[in-house]
Amino acid sequence: MLRLSKEDEKQVKEFHRLHEEAAKRGFGRLFRNPSLFEDVVKSLLLCGCRFQRSLEMAKGLCKLQKWLGKKCKWGNFPSAQELANLESEELLRNKCKLGYRAGLVMCLAKAVTDGEIKLLDYELNNMQLGDEESMFQKLKTIKGFGDFVTCNVLMCMGFYDRIPIDSETIRHIKQVLVFDKLQERVRERVEKETKRRKHLADDLSTSKEITSSSRREDLKPLFEDRLESSYFFFVSIAFSFDI
C-alpha cells in the first residue's frame, strides 16, 4: 500500500517537476506497510538472505494467527502485542522459519509493547525528534539494527539521505555493471584460445614425431602440456563469472 502524508506528496510533486521521465513512469512513491512496526520487522527479514527467503518468512508470520488457533486460512501480519504474548520464540523459529531472526523480532515486539521503543512517535514526530543523523544513531541502538535495516527504516519514516545497501544489493550492482566487462574479457580469451588451438592443429599436422607406427604412450608427452593449458583456460572462464 502507499502511505503518503501531505509533506510526502509535496516532495513527490517537486521531484516530478525536476524529473519528467520519473513523472511519466510514476516513480517517486514508496510502498509501505500498514504500520511502521511491520516495516521494521520486514526490514529485519531482508537481512542475510535472498528476497525469496524473505517472502517465505513474511508468509510464515501471516500464518501465525492460524497456528495460534484462530479459524482462518490466512491471518494478518501479527501485531507487536501478538508477538510479545508468545511464550517463546520457538514458534517463530521453527514454524515461521525465521531462524536467528526470531529472537530479534520477539525482542523488538516486547520493547514496542512495553513502551521502550516508541515507533509511533518515531514515525509521526520524526522531525521533532531530531534530524536524520540523530534518528540514525537512535535507531542503531535497537538490537538487530545494522546499517541496512536502519537506513531502510529511515526511508519509511521519510528520511532519504542514506541508501540501504546489503550484500544482495551489491550482487545486483555487480551483475549489471560487471557483466558487460566480463563478456568482453571472455570474448578476448575465447579468440586467443581459438588461435592457440589452430596453431596446435597446424603443428600436429606437420609434426615428424607422429608416424603410423607411433604408440599412445609415445604421443602422451606431446599432448599433456596442451591439455593442461586448455583446462586452465576453461577454469579461468568459470571464475570470470563468479560474481
139-157 pLDDT, tens per residue?
999 999 999 999 999 888 8
- Can you name the residues that pair with 2 across neighbouring β-strands? 31
Tell me: pLDDT of 234 over 50: no
Handedness of CA 67, 69, 75, 76 (dihedral sign): negative
Identify the band that residue 166 occupies on the pLDDT scale cut at 50, 70 and 90. confident
Higher pLDDT, 122 or 87: 87
Which grid coordinates belong to 180? 558487460
pLDDT at 25: 80
Which own/partner contact pairs does 137-144 have at CB distance under 8 Å and 24+ positions apart?
Answer: 142/108, 142/111, 142/117, 143/104, 143/107, 143/108, 144/44, 144/47, 144/101, 144/104, 144/107, 144/108
pLDDT at 125: 67
pLDDT at 237: 47
**Percent of the chain residues topping a pLDDT of 70:** 71
Residue showing cell 529485519: 44
Report how far residue 125's alpha carbon sits from residue 131's, in angstroms, rounded to the nearest whole number: 11
pLDDT at 129: 56
Report how far residue 126's alpha carbon sits from residue 131's, in angstroms, rounded to the nearest whole number: 8
Report how far residue 180's alpha carbon sits from residue 216's, in angstroms, rounded to the nearest whole number: 43
